[in-house]
Amino acid sequence: MHQRYKLRRSIVITSNRVLQDWGKYLGDATMATTILDRLMHRCAMLEFEGKSDRLKEAAARIAITPESS
């Protein structure tokens, strides 16, 4: 992470975890803070809300599948 930040290289990260919980998931709050500091310094952050399209499609498939007898 540090090398890519230093060289101004692109990084794409996707996550369904809130930023406040990264320390818990990475197992090291200090390292998570360092990583997030570098990621967010020059970032374009996109946040999406709403239900997952994959879950909607799965629910639709289940709804139209005939039940077994």
Q: Where are the domains of the chain?
A: 2-64
Query: Largest Cα–Cα distance in the chain?
Result: 62
- The helix/strand/coil state of 49 is coil
Answer yes or no: are the C-beta atoms of 62 and 68 closer than 8 Å: no
Q: What is the pLDDT of residues 12-53, one digit of tens each?
A: 888 888 889 999 999 999 999 988 898 888 888 888 888 888
Cβ-in-10-Å burial (0-12, 13-18, 19+) of 26 comes to middle
Per mean pLDDT, which of 1-5, 21-25, 63-67 is the most reliable? 21-25
Answer yes or no: are the C-beta atoms of 51 and 60 closer than 8 Å: no
Q: What is the pTM of this model?
A: 0.56
Torsions phi, psi of 43, nearest 5? -115, 160
